[in-house]
Amino acid sequence: MYDIIVIGGGPAGLTAALYACRANKSVLVIEKGSFGGQITFSPKVENIPGFTEVTGNAFAELLVEQVLSQNAEVECAEVLSVKDGPIKTVITDAGEFTAKAVIVATGAKHRLLGLEHEEEYIGDGISFCAVCDGAFYEGKTVAVIGGGNSALQEALLLSDLANTVYVIQNLASFTGEQTLVERLKTKNNVHFMFETVVARLIGNPSFCGIEVQNTASGSSQVLDLDGMFVAIGLVPQNDIVGDIVALNDYGYIVAGEDCTTAADGIFVAGDCRTKRVRQVTTAASDGAIAALAACSYIDSQG
């Protein structure tokens, strides 16, 4: 039995493991995919303290090496469910593991358009974060897909960097705040396209544009692009604990800055919890807080 099982091997989960190990707790990190999480899709990251620039993969490798050096154990498996109780049981497709506390750091996946070649262009023309990747498109032509607050905020940031920004919304109007819409209307380099969907991605072989279709008229056109930012929502990966912790209407685990959940001994870190800012630095912060909270919980149990 472990002191702490961390579910998820992204920056939040790995930071949690690091802090827990340094508090002399036995730790198992379970990850179903590749360690590093969403950041591994970023070919260049420039907003991590201590790094002028680093690839997402290189940063993830450093995190894993650091955690392993602190004697954490790792398991590549998919978590199927978690049983609550004085001792927590984590059931995976590779067997069952028990612990005194669990930290859920499963993250949230960006919702995709579902188009052919979409995943292979991620990090090579397709991005989800203007704060992270916007500087790479200075003076270039980009499109933002979506019409909510996130999409409008992405478009605003990009409007100060890119030469041309298309904002493509499948509805007849935006669903985001009107104040954001009004600010975008003042930008001469921003063009709105309503009742429009992305029908096809174009590559040669790298991403170089999209074909869009107007759902009202049925007409199509091709947009030559240097990059595309998809902002149609996130999908939290919290089904495995949905029956033992509180989730909000969007599926995020309800937790404040203390990273504690409604279930004793179960903590949460990173993008899968209710929060406003989802960045690699805030994920790491959550990991540290959740780990220290879990350690305090274990110590209080005697």
Instruction: Quote helix, strand, coil % in the chain, to nearest 5.
Output: 30, 30, 40
Active-site residue flag, 133: yes
Distance CA 8, CA 270 (A): 10
The tokens for 207 are 């991403």
Which one of the listed residues 3, 93, 124, 132 is annotated catalytic?
Answer: 132
Active site residue 272: no
Distances in Å between the alpha carbon of 284 and those of 15, 39, 198?
6, 12, 34
* Contact in structure between 29 and 67 (CB atoms under 8 Å): yes
Contact 111, 245 (CB under 8 A): no
Active-site hit among 129, 259, 272, 295: 129
Residue 130: which of 229, 232, 233 has the closest Cα? 229
Active-site residue, 295 included: no
Q: Among residues 3, 84, 93, 133, which one is catalytic? A: 133
Residue 116, Cβ neighbours under 10 Å: how many?
A: 9
Write the burial class of residue 69 (CB in 10 Å: 0-12 exposed, 13-18 middle, 19+ buried).
exposed
DSSP character string of 208-252: EEEEEEETTT--EEEEE-SEEEE-S-EEE--GGGTTTS-B-TTS-
Report, as residue numbers or ranges, the catalytic residues: 129, 132-133
